[in-house]
């Protein structure tokens, strides 16, 4: 169910598209369903339907058959599920989930499906210290058989004392769901078609209704406001930090790590505070990441050190950092930066769409764009590749063992021959021969005994 408005988000973005851990809320739900190897997932959209459908279709897990149905207008949760019925086969089980409940674990749903066993109505429930607002699980007697779910607004004072609530998640044999949904009406406090009314039909039909009661409230917590979104984000981040530490990653502070995507760590990885990882990032054995780094879509090989305040973003092309490389502090690696082993990239150096072979160094204040840099090249402070002529981009090739002095401008396309030296301050427009010293700058002129101008007396 993903048709609801989400008024309290006070946002133009449909609620289920708000992000948690870098992924839309609804994506978390779909990915969880994909883990259960469900036959198909039917997403019921309404508010912002087109936007939700586009966003979800774009990068849906390949393993799931995703379908959309629309619920317009939204007349309640029972009415929502009615819209999905034509897509559901009678020989199956329907698992009802909410698109705004992102932290449910697949194992919890497995347990619920096991309880349903293809023939019973199974409800996921939770005891809450403050159950107000939720549907209450009404039982024959304490701990006895489930008889009904009564919505808060329809509940008597006595029923409102019940602390066991319906989570919004149930597993139900589809053929039974179909008959029960056809019997729904909206004669209740909210004038809605309540999905939860099917419980009383099940009981009337003599069918067993079972509750799977969990204690982990986060798994069934929904997002209705920015505050709740931020709360669940913290829980999600803490759980992903715990999972990393569980397999050996050392975090300076698990509360100051944000993983918005997938972070895979080798052995003996250390991550200092305030780091953000996005997209797919892998850190090889012994990698150390300093404080305040942002790293997205990158592969960092074993033993590399990323010093503080480094920004790495591979976007689609990716970034590769070789074994034992030293990056930063204050370095910027952009899409297509491929750095070999033991490369050094120092402060305020930007690298984009460039390959640096083993042992190449650019330690200070430099730009390498669309360049191929050979082994052991030393690239001086303040030097840049002028790779863009205003219309097209061109490559710069710097062969092995070249020494580029400080403040050089390499105007691409250009090739610097192996072992050559480029004098500081040169603007290089033509290829240079291997082994040569190339200098391209104004000659120094000295005028002896130069008298500086003096201020005129008034
Ligand atoms: C529902 C349950 C309540 C339970 C609570 C748990 C009903 C009648 N009540 O409450 O017992 O304790 O969830 O959070 O089911 N939605 C639609 N179309 C609609 C209405 C809702 O798609 O017409 C979607 C919402 O976007 C949301 C989900 O269904 O994802 C639940 O709706 P919400 O209004 O949050 O739940 P309640 O009806 O308050
Ligand atoms: Ca409602």
pLDDT tens for 62-82 read 889 999 999 999 999 999 999
Nearest bound ligand to the CA of residue 138: 1
Region 121-128: what's the mean pLDDT? 98
Question: Ligand 1: which atom is nearest the Cα of residue 100?
Answer: 30
77 pocket-lining for ligand 1 (C-beta < 6 Å):
yes
197 pocket-lining for ligand 1 (C-beta < 6 Å):
no
Q: 124's torsion region: left (phi>0), alpha (psi -120 to 50) or beta? A: beta
Question: Ligand 1: which atom is nearest the Cα of residue 80?
Answer: 18
Percent of the chain at pLDDT above 90? 97
Nearest bound ligand to the CA of residue 190: 2
What is the CA(227)–ligand 1 centre distance, in A? 19
102 pocket-lining for ligand 1 (C-beta < 6 Å):
no
Q: How far is CA 131 from CA 95, 409, 412, in A?
A: 23, 68, 68
44 pocket-lining for ligand 1 (C-beta < 6 Å):
yes
79 pocket-lining for ligand 1 (C-beta < 6 Å):
yes
Give the residue carrying structure tokens 């769901």: 177
Pick the CATH number of 7-220 from 3.40.50.720, 3.90.550.10, 2.40.240.10, 3.40.50.300: 3.90.550.10
Q: Which residues are catalytic?
A: 364
Are 226 and 235 within 8 A, CB to CB? no
What is the CA(77)–ligand 2 centre distance, in A? 7
170 pocket-lining for ligand 1 (C-beta < 6 Å):
no
Per domain, the residue ranges of the chain are 7-220, 249-438
Question: Ligand 1: which atom is nearest the Cα of residue 224?
Answer: 35
Are 408 and 434 within 8 A, CB to CB? no
Region 200-221: what's the mean pLDDT? 98
Q: Give pLDDT, residue 37.
A: 84
Nearest bound ligand to the CA of residue 196: 1
Q: Does the global pTM surpass 0.85? A: yes
Q: 316's torsion region: left (phi>0), alpha (psi -120 to 50) or beta? A: alpha
Q: What is the dihedral of CA 211, 215, 218, 219, to 10 degrees?
A: -40
| pLDDT > 90? residue 448 | yes
| pLDDT > 90? residue 210 | yes
Q: Going by CA atoms, what residue is nearest to atom 19 of ligand 1?
A: 76
Pocket perturbation via mutation, ligand 1, pick of 2, 95, 168 by most ligand atoms within 8 A of CB: 168
What is the CA(134)–ligand 2 centre distance, in A? 10
d(CA 286, CA 304): 7
Nearest bound ligand to the CA of residue 44: 1
d(CA 379, CA 341): 16
Q: Give pLDDT, residue 452.
A: 93
Q: Going by CA atoms, what residue is nearest to atom 14 of ligand 1?
A: 168
Region 229-247: what's the mean pLDDT? 98
Helix (H) or strand (E) holding 148: strand 146-150
What is the CA(122)–ligand 1 centre distance, in A? 17
DSSP 349-388: EEEES-EE-TT-EEEEEEEEESEEE-TT-EE-TT-EEE-B
Mean pLDDT estimate for the chain: 97
Instruction: Residue 40: count other Cβ atoms within 10 Å of its Cβ.
Output: 13
> 220 Cβ partners below 8 Å, 6+ apart?
101, 104, 124, 126, 167, 168, 169, 214
Check: CATH 3.40.50.620 for 249-438? no
Instruction: Identify the sign of the CA torsion 115, 117, 118, 119.
Output: negative
Treating both helix axes as pointing N-terminal to C-terminal, what angle do 77-84 and 174-181 enclose, rounded to 10 degrees? 130
151 pocket-lining for ligand 1 (C-beta < 6 Å):
yes
Q: Give pLDDT, residue 62.
A: 84
What is the CA(253)–ligand 1 centre distance, in A? 37
d(CA 202, CA 138): 14
Helix (H) and strand (E) counts in the chain: 8, 35
| pLDDT > 90? residue 59 | no
Instruction: Residue 110: count other Cβ atoms within 10 Å of its Cβ.
Output: 12
């Amino acid at each position: 169910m993903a048709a609801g408005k989400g008024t309290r988000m006070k946002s133009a973005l449909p609620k289920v598209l708000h992000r948690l851990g870098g992924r839309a809320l609804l994506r978390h739900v779909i990915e969880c369903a994909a883990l259960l190897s469900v036959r198909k997932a039917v997403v019921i959209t309404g508010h912002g339907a087109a936007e939700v459908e586009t966003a979800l279709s774009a990068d849906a897990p390949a393993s799931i058959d995703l379908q959309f149905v629309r619920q317009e207008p939204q007349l309640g949760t029972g009415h929502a599920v009615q819209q999905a019925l034509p897509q559901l086969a009678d020989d199956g089980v329907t698992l009802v989930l909410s698109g705004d409940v992102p932290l449910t674990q697949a194992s919890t749903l497995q347990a619920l499906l096991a309880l349903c066993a293809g023939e019973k109505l199974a409800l996921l429930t939770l005891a809450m210290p403050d159950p107000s607002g939720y549907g209450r699980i009404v039982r024959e007697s304490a701990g006895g058989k489930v008889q009904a779910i009564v919505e808060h607004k329809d509940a008597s004072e006595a029923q409102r004392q019940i602390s066991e609530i319906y989570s919004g998640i149930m597993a139900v044999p589809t053929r039974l769901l179909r008959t029960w949904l056809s019997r729904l009406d909206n004669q209740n406090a909210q004038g809605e078609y309540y999905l939860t009314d099917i419980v009383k039909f099940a009981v009337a039909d003599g069918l067993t209704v079972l509750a799977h009661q969990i204690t982990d409230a986060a798994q069934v917590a929904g997002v209705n406001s920015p505050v709740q979104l931020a709360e669940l984000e913290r829980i999600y981040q803490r759980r992903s930090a715990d999972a990393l530490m569980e397999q050996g990653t050392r975090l300076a502070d698990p509360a100051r790590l944000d993983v918005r995507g997938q972070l895979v760590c080798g052995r003996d990885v250390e991550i200092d505070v305030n780091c953000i990882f996005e997209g797919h990032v892998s850190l090889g054995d012994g990698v150390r990441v300093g404080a305040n780094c942002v790293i997205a879509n990158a592969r960092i090989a074993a033993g590399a050190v990323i010093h503080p305040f480094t920004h790495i973003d591979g976007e689609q092309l990716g970034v590769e950092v070789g074994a034992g490389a030293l990056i930063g502090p204050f370095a910027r690696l952009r899409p297509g930066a491929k750095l070999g082993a033991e490369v050094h990239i120092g402060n305020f150096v930007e690298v984009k769409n460039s390959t640096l072979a083993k042992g190449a160094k650019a330690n200070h204040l430099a730009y390498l764009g669309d360049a191929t840099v050979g082994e052991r090249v030393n690239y001086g402070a303040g030097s840049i590749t002028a790779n863009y002529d205003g219309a097209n981009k061109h490559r710069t090739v710097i062969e092995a063992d070249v020494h580029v002095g400080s403040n050089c401008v390499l105007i691409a396309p250009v090739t610097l021959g192996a072992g050559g030296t480029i004098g500081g301050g040169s603007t290089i427009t033509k290829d240079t021969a291997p082994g040569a010293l190339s200098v391209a700058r104004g000659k120094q002129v000295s005028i002896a005994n130069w008298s500086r101008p003096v201020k005129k007396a008034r």
